[in-house]
Amino acid sequence: MHRKRVIILALIFLVLAFVFIYFYKFSLQTRIKGIKEDVNRDGQIDIVDIATVGRAFGSRPGDLNWNAIADLNKDDSVDNLDMYMVEEMFKKVKG
């Protein structure tokens, strides 16, 4: 009886720990407002941000696909460095 109780308490603890970790990661995502890698300013670094930089990749001011927001390092071109910046932040947030 005592052993069964310990096992049940351990399982409850593990479930609560996983729930805490999940919501902690979620709260990290929602606290990133103001970070330049959040290209669409929705409070998350996600595939939408990567795709936005990807659509503007290789462009400069005046090009049809130019998007100033995707130029993360403000060097008047959306290039490998901009893509690297958004991908690295995505990896940090997604863990």
Side chain identity at residue 66, one-letter code:
W
Give the residue numbers spanning the domain of 34.
2-94
pLDDT (tens digit per residue) in 21-37:
665 555 555 555 678 89
| Sign for the pseudo-dihedral over CA of 80, 90, 88, 43 | positive
Low-confidence ranges of the chain (pLDDT < 50): none
Query: What's the pLDDT at 55?
Result: 95
Helices (H) and strands (E) in the chain, counts: 3, 0
> How many domains in the chain?
1
Query: What's the pLDDT at 58?
Result: 96
Spatial CA neighbour of 36 closest among 70, 5, 7: 70
Query: What's the pLDDT at 49?
Result: 94
Q: What is the CATH number of the domain that holds 62?
A: 1.10.1330.10
